[in-house]
Amino acid sequence: MQSSEPEVKKIIVKLGKRSYPIFIGNNLLNNAGLFKNYINSKQVMVVTNETIAPLYLDRIIHCLSDLVVESIILPDGEEYKTLEIMNTIITKLLQQRFSRNSCLIALGGGVVGDITGFAAACYQRGIDYIQVPTTVLAQVDSSVGGKTAVNHILGKNMIGAFHQPRAVIADISVLATLDNRELRAGLAEVIKYGLIHDKKFFTWLEQNIVRLLNREYDALCFAIDCSCRNKAEIVAKDEKESGIRALLNLGHTFGHAIETGLCYRDWLHGEAVATGMLMSADLSCRHGWITDDDIARIRKILNTAELPVKLPQGLNSERMLELMSVDKKTRNGILNLVLLKGIGNAIVTDQYDSEKLLETLMHFSAVQEVA
Amino acid sequence: MQSSEPEVKKIIVKLGKRSYPIFIGNNLLNNAGLFKNYINSKQVMVVTNETIAPLYLDRIIHCLSDLVVESIILPDGEEYKTLEIMNTIITKLLQQRFSRNSCLIALGGGVVGDITGFAAACYQRGIDYIQVPTTVLAQVDSSVGGKTAVNHILGKNMIGAFHQPRAVIADISVLATLDNRELRAGLAEVIKYGLIHDKKFFTWLEQNIVRLLNREYDALCFAIDCSCRNKAEIVAKDEKESGIRALLNLGHTFGHAIETGLCYRDWLHGEAVATGMLMSADLSCRHGWITDDDIARIRKILNTAELPVKLPQGLNSERMLELMSVDKKTRNGILNLVLLKGIGNAIVTDQYDSEKLLETLMHFSAVQEVA
């Protein structure tokens, strides 16, 4: 299958010399030609995890059989997205004498993509990598845009780099093996694009959320394509997040605080983002920027996708405020938040009422707090 | 003192949006105005080590007293240039709630500069930093050009990033407290610039090496200025070392192998580079590219500076070859070396005779080997 055939969608992330394509289609993991256009070396290392390896690792190794393909299998989970695990990738690269021209392939979800991208950013001060996202979340969000990172015990994604991949190869067929919870978590990031600046897409999602949950190929393909186009457009305008790109963090300041508070366990990233988006909507509503009806629409689609809409046990408003204070969008002590001025119209602002923020945090606490 | 006064030399490293100045002069550590031109935040963290802290840390903190200045004091030595120590900087930044706009100041030699630069490259995907080099080596080489890194047990500088500083502030007066061995090691890198592409400077160095060893201010100032100009010119042409910048690695492939083989202990970086440069000269001579007289001149200046010119005990030719094989300049298994086609005329090449390389390695072994 060639990329020029109609069934493979191609989106270019326009970043001058660092531009690269996103391919979306069926059975792309078998498409040797597609991969090889973006590999400039005989040395390739596939980084994956213990969930994905038994399913798809052999397929990629077979596909690239005329190259020297090594692999490393990481434990599965956000709690393993650490500097230590990143260092195990570096060690293997050095043991196998991988040169500055070699290429990494990130085969997995957001955790694998982020840690592999960061290893590629750092190894010998930067080598190539290709993203092969295997979850909805990674296909629509984390694999696109060159944000790489590992977590620190005190904050999510605090150690990282901007390092663009050479290509993103999103094979829709691998979503067949995705478990339901991962699918739903990924849909949270899809819904995010609608909320940020694509009201029409949000409406489509309201009408098609059940088809997505049923994994109908056409619906998934449309949603992933639409999400990637939204992301590619924003990244092209603001690669290093000095402005508009911060909109993509809708729900993430709350979400990262949840994840850090849970030590990156128990909740998936997309689940934390789901709750975070509803909290952003709630805070926006308290400022009169969106209506109760808007909130109800957002809550309904999240409920349909069975995503959490309350803070987890043990994270009260005080702890949340503390966790949020290390957010990357803080400037001179003031936390910027992504809020909504309507569905499809997100803004980044520090002009919000901190009393109302506290009200939102208390409203979402799993256990009722006394003010 | 303002940068426009004649006693402060200013060299611009021309890298478009990432251009920055190198200031060279006396008592610059007291020059608050100079620093503040390059700090865009109230939050500053000085990273230094236990040798430099008692001498100069208070001076910088005092100089920036109207900002929030934190500091972190690292153990002194190349063996501490690790991912773990880098993480202690990140932890402190997070504990102190440092934002994406904050600024690091690297106050120390090459180790402090490299690890601070890498922490700045990674913290929240990149923050500002200023280099305040306190050794000859750091002033003429490692603080300029944006190469940042930490070491891995299997190879030197294998984990890093290109991340340019906002400014380099080289205060010649701090060299007064530099110990003799550090001074000499730094002069190895100064001599390197002469060998690479500045024959006139090499001749000046031959005539003035004793004045440099005696720390005569004018001689040091000239040598550091001349070295920085050489480096700035090369970096401006090839920021990410895809070509000409590799010349700056003269002596470094051998040198890094020595350092890695010694687990980054016992020898200083400049000492390893000194031996490495003579080895490069020896190998070049075996190809007939330079004369015995050239070798003698190089050996003489290194001897005058009391720099080592033999491999350390325990590193035989076999081990050296193994260590060299992980070098960053390897491409598809072939090691590129920086060799000399005359004093002041270095080249990067893989067109050398591997038998002659072995002869060079055996010739430099501390203990005579049997072929």
- Cα–Cα distances (Å) from A278 to A181, A220, A250, B134, in that order, read 19, 23, 10, 52
C-alpha to C-alpha distance for B5 and B178, rounded to whole angstroms: 26
In chain B, which residues have their Cβ closer than 8 Å to the Cβ of A123? 158-159
A156 and A271 assigned to the same domain: no
Has residue A370 been placed in a domain? no
Has residue B3 been placed in a domain? no
Two tokens, residue A327:
């957010």
C-alpha to C-alpha distance for A245 and A39, rounded to whole angstroms: 29
B144 and B110 assigned to the same domain: yes
**Confidence (pLDDT) at A170:** 98
What CATH number has the domain bearing residue B339? 1.20.1090.10
**Collapsed DSSP state (helix, strand, coil) of residue B328:** coil
B342 min Cα distance to partner chain A (Å): 29
User: Alpha helix locations (H) across A287-366?
Assistant: 292-304, 317-324, 354-364
Instruction: Give yes or no: A269 in active site.
Output: yes
B197 min Cα distance to partner chain A (Å): 25
Cβ–Cβ below 8 Å for B332 and A41 = yes
In chain B, which residues have their Cβ closer than 8 Å to the Cβ of A240? 125-126
**Confidence (pLDDT) at B329:** 75
In chain A, which residues have their Cβ closer than 8 Å to the Cβ of B95? 154
Residue A368 pLDDT level (bands cut at 50, 70, 90):
low
B97 min Cα distance to partner chain A (Å): 6
Cβ–Cβ below 8 Å for B121 and A87 = no
In chain A, which residues have their Cβ closer than 8 Å to the Cβ of B89? none
Planar angle of CA A221, A225, A226, nearest 5 degrees: 120
Cβ–Cβ below 8 Å for A331 and B101 = yes
Number of domains in chain A: 2
Instruction: Give yes or no: A125 in active site.
Output: yes
B149, B176, B203: which is the final residue of a domain?
B176
The chain A residue lying nearest B242, using CA atoms, is A100
Closest CB to B160 among A99, A122, A147: A122
In sequence order, the 6+-apart residues with CB closer than 8 A to the CB of B351 are: none
In sequence order, the 6+-apart residues with CB closer than 8 A to the CB of A115 are: A47, A74, A80, A81, A85, A86, A89, A148, A150
B336 min Cα distance to partner chain A (Å): 12
Residue A367 pLDDT level (bands cut at 50, 70, 90):
low
A166 and A57 assigned to the same domain: yes
Two tokens, residue B305:
């500076």
Distance of CA B236 to the CA centre of its chain: 17
A109 and A222 assigned to the same domain: no
The ipTM (two decimal places) reads 0.92
Residue B6 has pLDDT above 70, yes or no: no
A139 and A165 assigned to the same domain: yes
A27 and A163 assigned to the same domain: yes
Closest CB to A149 among B87, B125, B149: B125
Q: Is B323 exposed, middle or buried (0-12, 13-18, 19+ CB in 10 A)?
A: buried
Cβ–Cβ below 8 Å for B332 and A95 = no
Has residue A1 been placed in a domain? no
In chain A, which residues have their Cβ closer than 8 Å to the Cβ of B257? none
Has residue B371 been placed in a domain? no
**Confidence (pLDDT) at A371:** 45
Has residue A355 been placed in a domain? yes
**Confidence (pLDDT) at B330:** 74
Has residue B192 been placed in a domain? yes
A126 CB-side CA count, 13 A: 21
DSSP-derived secondary structure letter, B350: S
Beta-strand pair B20-25/B9-13: antiparallel
Interface test with A, best of B82, B98, B99 (most A CBs within 10 A): B99
The chain A residue lying nearest B40, using CA atoms, is A332
Q: Pick the catalytic residue: A81, A192, A197, A269?
A: A269
Residue A5 has pLDDT above 50, yes or no: no
Cβ–Cβ below 8 Å for A94 and B152 = yes
C-alpha to C-alpha distance for B159 and B25, rounded to whole angstroms: 32
Task: Please give the backbone phi and psi of residue A7, each rounded to the nearest 5 degrees, phi first.
Answer: -75, -10
**Confidence (pLDDT) at A3:** 43
**Confidence (pLDDT) at A4:** 44
Mean pLDDT of the A223-234 span:
97
The residue segments making up the domain with residue B278 are 180-364
**Confidence (pLDDT) at B332:** 66
Catalytically annotated residues of B:
125, 147, 189, 231, 241, 245, 249, 252, 256, 269
| Residues of B engaging A, defined by a Cβ cutoff of 8 Å | 41-43, 83, 87, 90-91, 94-95, 97, 99-101, 121-126, 147, 149, 152, 154-155, 157-162, 240, 325-326, 328-333
Q: pTM of the full predicted structure? A: 0.93
**Residues A8, A1 contacting (CB under 8 angstroms):** yes
Cβ–Cβ below 8 Å for A122 and B161 = yes
Mean pLDDT of the B334-338 span:
92
Residue A254 pLDDT level (bands cut at 50, 70, 90):
very high
Look-up of token digits 């550090």: B182
Beta-strand pair A103-108/A68-74: unpaired
Residue B5 has pLDDT above 70, yes or no: no
Mean pLDDT (chain B) is 94
Instruction: Give yes or no: A7 in active site.
Output: no
In chain B, which residues have their Cβ closer than 8 Å to the Cβ of A94? 152, 154-155, 158, 326
**Residues A284, A195 contacting (CB under 8 angstroms):** no
Look-up of token digits 């109908």: A216
Residue B4 has pLDDT above 60, yes or no: no
* Chain segment B91-149, per-residue pLDDT in tens: 999 999 999 999 999 999 999 999 999 999 999 999 999 999 999 999 999 999 999 99
A162 and A206 assigned to the same domain: no
Residue A330 pLDDT level (bands cut at 50, 70, 90):
confident
A199 min Cα distance to partner chain B (Å): 31
Has residue A371 been placed in a domain? no
A332 and A185 assigned to the same domain: yes
Cβ–Cβ below 8 Å for B99 and A240 = no
C-alpha to C-alpha distance for A279 and A14, rounded to whole angstroms: 33
Two tokens, residue B8:
């402060």
**Confidence (pLDDT) at B321:** 94
Beta-strand pair B103-108/B128-133: parallel
What CATH number has the domain bearing residue B113? 3.40.50.1970
Q: Kindly report the number of other CB atoms within 10 A of residue B151's CB atom.
A: 25
B37 CB-side CA count, 13 A: 13
Q: Pick the catalytic residue: A252, A286, A297, A328?
A: A252
* Chain segment A259-294, per-residue pLDDT in tens: 999 999 999 999 999 999 999 999 999 999 999 999
| Residues of A engaging B, defined by a Cβ cutoff of 8 Å | 41-43, 83, 87, 90-91, 94-95, 97, 99-101, 121-126, 147, 149, 152, 154-155, 157-162, 240, 325-326, 328-333
Closest CB to A161 among B83, B125, B328: B125
In chain B, which residues have their Cβ closer than 8 Å to the Cβ of A68? none
User: Alpha helix locations (H) across A263-335?
Assistant: 269-286, 292-304, 317-324
**Which residue from A49, A42, A19 is spatially nearest to A164, judged by alpha carbons?**
A19
Beta bridge pairs of residue B133: B108
* Chain segment B271-330, per-residue pLDDT in tens: 999 999 999 999 999 999 999 999 999 999 999 999 999 999 989 999 999 999 887 777
B27 and B154 assigned to the same domain: yes
H or E element in which residue B262 lies: none
A20 min Cα distance to partner chain B (Å): 20
Has residue B219 been placed in a domain? yes
A176, A192, A220: which is the final residue of a domain?
A176
The share of chain A scoring above pLDDT 90, in percent, equals 93
Instruction: Give yes or no: A189 in active site.
Output: yes
C-alpha to C-alpha distance for B112 and B134, rounded to whole angstroms: 10
B176, B209, B227: which is the final residue of a domain?
B176
Residue A208 has pLDDT above 90, yes or no: yes
Mean pLDDT of the A181-209 span:
97
Residue A6 has pLDDT above 60, yes or no: no
Residue A56 has pLDDT above 80, yes or no: yes
B103 and B226 assigned to the same domain: no
A138 and A240 assigned to the same domain: no
B179 CB-side CA count, 13 A: 5
A220 and A319 assigned to the same domain: yes
Determine the straight-line distance between the first and last CA of chain A, rounded to whole angstroms.
61
